[in-house]
Amino acid sequence: MGKLDKQKVVVIGGTSGIGLATAILAREAGATVWAASRSEDKVAACSTANPEIDFMQVDIHDTDALKSLFEKTGPIDHILGVATGAERVMAPFMTQTDEEFRGAFNKFWGYTNLARQGIPFLADSGSLTFVSGTPARKCNPGMSSVSCTGSAVEGLTRALALELTPIRVNVIAPGLIDTGMFDSFGDSRPEVLENISKNILLGRVGQAAEVAEAIMLVMTNPYMTGTTIDVDGGAMLP
């Protein structure tokens, strides 16, 4: 018996990195899984590699597309919002335009949209999980927009946990994880990751599956709600 036998899981942002790793673990735990993102190519590649998961093309900001997805799934047990959902602008606050700063919050608006469309379909015994990030509570100069967005996601988690109980709402805060987020570094990716690793207590970046394990914990543990779990190799420590 898997921990998610006969349960239904929806992952928005589920075609790469942490989302895809969680979709795979949830399927292995016995769930029926729908995983969605914007890119047709990623959806096609994931469908071929993981035929037991139902991959769909959905933008987390597209209310109609989310409505169609939940009409297709019907009542569900767990929702994971993991989509990046925004451009990350890493620059000092005073050198960012207001538009750039506000743009980072598109991740947050994606999660609120997912919550509004998905919660009516969630079972009382179910869960909603979001993904923030270490900068929400420990950031370096140049990370103000990412930090504020992450804090907002963590605040939304606690507020919804209060309002939606007994539905459980939790957030996972990853540190630096080797995912598609680093694709833009191209050939210099290994060097960039190695340099970053020097500042992490455990001396390495994390893997998507290590974060997915924590997401599976909050999905399946019936006594966890309003919680933030850091999966960051000790990055919160100096």
Q: What are the residues binding ligand NAP (CB under 6 A)?
A: 12-13, 15-19, 37-39, 42, 59-61, 82-85, 110, 131, 133, 174, 176-177, 179-181, 208
Tell me, what DSSP letter sits at residue 59?
-
Closest distance between ligand NAP and the C-beta of residue 5, in Å?
Answer: 26
- 3-state DSSP assignment of residue 131: strand
Closest CA to 56 of 83, 75, 31: 83
Backbone angles phi, psi at 146, to 5 degrees: -65, -40
Nearer to ligand NAP (CB atom), residue 123 or residue 181: 181
DSSP string, 11-46: EET-SSHHHHHHHHHHHHTT-EEEEEES-HHHHHHH
Closest distance between ligand NAP and the C-beta of residue 1, in Å?
Answer: 29
Backbone angles phi, psi at 36, to 5 degrees: -135, 155
Give the residue at shortest CB distance from ligand NAP. Answer: 17
The answer to whether 159 and 112 are in contact (CB under 8 A) is no
Closest distance between ligand NAP and the C-beta of residue 202, in Å?
Answer: 14
How many whole angstroms separate alpha carbon 138 and alpha carbon 230? Answer: 11
Nearer to ligand NAP (CB atom), residue 166 or residue 203: 203
Closest distance between ligand NAP and the C-beta of residue 92, in Å?
Answer: 20
How many whole angstroms separate alpha carbon 192 and alpha carbon 198? Answer: 10
Closest distance between ligand NAP and the C-beta of residue 10, in Å?
Answer: 12
Nearer to ligand NAP (CB atom), residue 147 or residue 225: 147
Nearer to ligand NAP (CB atom), residue 90 or residue 181: 181
As given in the structure block, the two tokens for residue 49 are: 């590699």
Nearer to ligand NAP (CB atom), residue 118 or residue 133: 133
